[in-house]
Structure 1
Amino acid sequence: MGKSNKKPSKDINKIRPTIPKRIPHDNLSYAVLLSIDEGKSTGSGFRLKIDGANYLVTAKHVLYDRHDELYGTTLIVTCHSPSKDQTSPLIFHVDLSEAKILRSGKFDIAAVLLGTNQPLDGHDHDTPLRQLQSDVKRPTALIGESYVRRIQDGNGVGVSVDIEAAGMLHSISLASDVYLLGYPTSLGIRTSTFYDFSKPLIRKGIVAGVDPVRSTFVIDCAAYPGNSGGPVVEHCLDGFFRVIGLVSRFIPYETKWHSNRGDVVNTDISNSGYTVCVSMDAVVSTLKEAVAE
């Protein structure tokens, strides 16, 4: 009997690292709830660590009205802990009249400088983020600006997006899984008990289109008032989860009804289920340009 040329099989799990198939639970805590002047404007956002600074990133229209004026000066930011057992959130107050706000003249982006990141001793801050195996990666303490004040410490920690956990426009793949994170505070009825309006919700979809010219992309997730500014996470081809942008606005669907008696037209606008998002490229360029000025 001749020798077989078949190579011995190898355990693929010993060759390829274990890649999570579901979004890590702490990613849901990327989204923070924003409320200006006791709900005059509400929205979502996320904290971003970049170049030693910590920014609160959101959609510009969450902070500014159509006349480019702030909705108010008192911003309350609610940050939930990634731990399922920790239910009391970290809450802080930002005086927008004193805050350093970076806003884009081209994109639906605004960022508030919260302070600087102080690395905590005893943790690895040099190894590339994707190689770290610990549950808590590169923890830092926020040294807040004078206009930032904690009003509730909570029983957990806030989570910021490290710039290494961001994905840029050129790496986004069509039809890849994405997760929309945020606080759709417009849903439900406030007098009901549908869900806890103070906690983030997650919605799953796919990348439906990419527009490099506008530095945007479209996802087939329905977004509602309150979702604006929230982070969008892609499950990338290499198995990792990265923040690739923020929610800007839903794409409307228009229906016109014509009366058979008289020249009367009724127009209905509804949510198409598609959402336009601004890329992290635009976020980074906005921050870099503002710092350079």
Structure 2
Amino acid sequence: MNRSLLDNLTYATLLSLDYGKSSGSGFFLKFNGEDFLITAKHVLFNDSTLRCKTLTVSSQNPRSVNEDSKMFELDMTQVPVLYSKTNDVAAISFGVIENSNLNSNINLIQAGTLETISIDQNSTRRIEEIGIANEVFLIGFPTSLIFQNSKHFDPGKPLLRKGIIGGINLEDNTFIIDCSTYYGNSGAPVLELCEDNQLRVIGIASRYIPFVIEWRNNRETSVTHPEYLNSGYSVCVPMNSIFELISQ
């Protein structure tokens, strides 16, 4: 396996809305020489209304410390945000991160020591090319798994899960991975181990698929209580939707 996309995970980003009131995941994509932050639409929007005034974006590697990470702060009342009306995807143009030629209203608040990279558009794959049962890696920030005083893992560092391509829905323009996602993982990049042993980004995590259990009162059968559990399957938005959005 070509591990280049696993050795440096700084393209994966933690998104903090209004200084921690909510969070999500995303990644940096290099498209026609410009860096874009890609995430799920519902991370940033309730319908068409922005969910925050300030967005903090940070990236680091699993072995790094917080002081190494690169951090950006965005004034969301001024930054133009692209979002799809039909797919769960949003994008923000950053300019060029490598030489700090950032677009207005995007501020570098911590330079860190790590070189933040972007996934080149040539290191991606569209939904028509992905293969059923191929291995996938999900790289995100499931902040909902953090419990009080936990020292098991740092919520600011990317956490990986491994699964397979479980299904493809060309009509709905989505695919399913046999991989659990949790709150905070929305917008996380999904990498496929392709037939040529290369890793390519194929889309982002959108939502988990619930497994529903319904409890009934044995004396009052009309009284029920549904319980929603994580089935272990997740719906993902493919790169097709991302390219269609930023090509506009």
What's the offset of the Cα at 1:186?
0.2
Pair 1:195 & 2:153 matched: yes
What's the offset of the Cα at 1:113?
1.0
Distance 2:148 2:199 in 1: 33
Residues 116-195 of structure 1 mapped to structure 2, 5 A cutoff: 116=96, 140-195=98-153
SS at match of 2:144: coil
State which drifts further: 271-280 or 255-264: 255-264
Residues 34-49 of structure 1 mapped to structure 2, 5 A cutoff: 34-49=15-30
What's the offset of the Cα at 1:141?
2.6
Q: Are the equivalent residues in 1 in contact too, given 2:163–2:178 (CA < 8 A)? A: yes
What's the offset of the Cα at 1:192?
2.1
Residue 230 (structure 2) aligns with: 271
Residue 175 (structure 2) aligns with: 217
Distance 1:92 1:190 in 2: 27
Q: Are the equivalent residues in 1 in contact too, given 2:8–2:61 (CA < 8 A)? A: no
Deviations 1:43-67 (A, max 9, x none): 00001110121110000010012x4
SS at match of 1:33: strand
Distance 1:250 1:81 in 2: 25
What's the offset of the Cα at 1:37?
0.4
What's the offset of the Cα at 1:259?
1.6
Distance 1:276 1:27 in 2: 25
Q: Are the equivalent residues in 2 in contact too, given 1:218–1:276 (CA < 8 A)? A: yes
Give the 3 Å change call, closer, same or farther, for CA 190–78 of structure 1 in structure 2: farther
What's the offset of the Cα at 1:143?
1.3
Pair 1:231 & 2:212 matched: no
Residue 105 (structure 1) aligns with: 85
What's the offset of the Cα at 1:25?
2.9
Q: Are the equivalent residues in 1 in contact too, given 2:82–2:246 (CA < 8 A)? A: yes
What's the offset of the Cα at 1:36?
0.9
Work out which of the residue numbers 34, 52, 65 in structure 1 matches 2:33.
52
Distance 1:216 1:142 in 2: 34
Distance 2:114 2:4 in 1: 20
Deviations 1:192-243 (A, max 9, x none): 2221111010000000001111211000110000000010000000111000
| Higher-strand-fraction structure | 2
* Alignment-mate amino acid for residue 198 of structure 2: F
SS at match of 2:234: strand
Work out which of the residue numbers 83, 91, 96 in structure 1 matches 2:71.
91
Q: Are the equivalent residues in 2 in contact too, given 1:80–1:157 (CA < 8 A)? A: no
Q: Are the equivalent residues in 2 in contact too, given 1:48–1:163 (CA < 8 A)? A: yes
Residue identity (%): 41
Q: State the superposition RMSD in angstroms.
A: 1.7
Instruction: Calculate the TM-score normalised by the size of structure 2.
Output: 0.94
SS at match of 2:219: coil
Distance 2:148 2:57 in 1: 20
Distance 2:61 2:224 in 1: 50
Q: Are the equivalent residues in 2 in contact too, given 1:174–1:209 (CA < 8 A)? A: yes
Distance 1:43 1:24 in 2: 20
Give the 3 Å change call, closer, same or farther, for CA 240–162 of structure 1 in structure 2: same
Residue 239 (structure 2) aligns with: 280
What's the offset of the Cα at 1:40?
2.0
State which drifts further: 173-182 or 209-218: 209-218
What's the offset of the Cα at 1:80?
1.0
Work out which of the residue numbers 208, 213, 219 in structure 2 matches 1:261.
219
Question: Unmatched 5+ residue regions in structure 1?
Answer: 1-18, 118-139
Q: Are the equivalent residues in 2 in contact too, given 1:40–1:71 (CA < 8 A)? A: no
Residue 201 (structure 2) aligns with: 243
Q: Are the equivalent residues in 2 in contact too, given 1:93–1:149 (CA < 8 A)? A: yes
Residue 10 (structure 2) aligns with: 29
SS at match of 2:128: helix
Structure with higher Rg: it is 1
